[in-house]
Amino acid sequence: VTSRKDQEQYWADKNRPYRYVSVTEFTNKFKQFHVGVRLEQELSVPFDKSSAHKAALVYSKNSVPTRDIFKACWDKEWLLIKRNSFVYIFKTAQIVIIAVIAATLFLRTEMSRDNEDDAALYIGAILFAMIMNMFNGFAELALTIGRLPVFYKHRDHLFHPAWTYTLPNFLLRIPISIFESLAWMVVTYYTIGFAPEASR
């Protein structure tokens, strides 16, 4: 015990009066003691890695192959998408409803093409479509931020590199974003009058 307050109660030799023994004095006495000498001799010999079992020591940064780590993160992201499917269904329904509102607001029968004021209406419709599609993904932001502490913990403990977390997240969200944009385009493209005929 190296604490000055607690050391006295552990004083073993009652024939001699107590005196405080410092940490350096403890260290020097231990190194001179036969146990300390033997321990120092054992530690001075470097460890022979060839005699160790291959499963006992880790010889690479990640003990699991990168492909398996990627597959595990992919499966985890897919499971989270299925678990939060209500959010994605709600987002798609929301964007379809807003697309119907936008299509009736910028109805093609009311949109003429004669001057710059009419062009400003079309630019307004395009800008509204762009803003709606861009901000539709903000619902996922809260889900992603909520998972960040777990991501940082996994990354710091070298469970997996950062790209194995972000790549499946990115790749699995692309079809969802394309589907939402497609839903918006199907509802608004002909109705607003971006194309003169429905076949486009």
Query: Residue 190 has what pLDDT?
Result: 82
Q: How far is CA 156 from the centre of its chain?
A: 12
Query: Residue 175 has what pLDDT?
Result: 93
Query: Residue 6 has what pLDDT?
Result: 84
**Of 102, 94, 100, the residue nearest 127 (C-alpha):** 102
Q: Name, in order, each residue with C-beta under 8 angstroms of 180's C-beta and a sequence gap of 6 or more.
A: 91, 92, 95, 133, 136
3-class secondary structure, 154: helix
Per-residue tens of pLDDT for the chain, all 200 residues: 778 888 888 888 888 888 888 889 989 989 999 999 999 999 998 877 777 777 666 667 777 788 998 999 999 999 999 998 999 999 999 999 999 998 888 887 766 777 787 788 888 888 999 998 888 888 888 888 988 898 899 888 878 888 888 899 999 999 999 999 999 988 888 888 777 665 65
The dihedral sign for the CA sequence 162, 165, 167, 169 = negative
**Cβ contact 160:62 at 8 Å:** yes
The dihedral sign for the CA sequence 68, 69, 74, 75 = positive
- Tokens matching residue 83: 């678990």
What residue has token string 């000055």? 4
61-69 contacts at long range (C-beta below 8 A, 24 or more positions apart): 61/158, 62/158, 62/160, 62/161, 66/161, 66/164, 69/160, 69/161, 69/164
CA distance 182 to 73: 28
Q: Find the DSSP H helices in the chain.
A: 23-32, 34-44, 66-83, 85-105, 116-135, 138-156, 162-192
Helices 138-156, 85-105: crossing angle, 10 deg rounding: 150
CA distance 138 to 128: 16
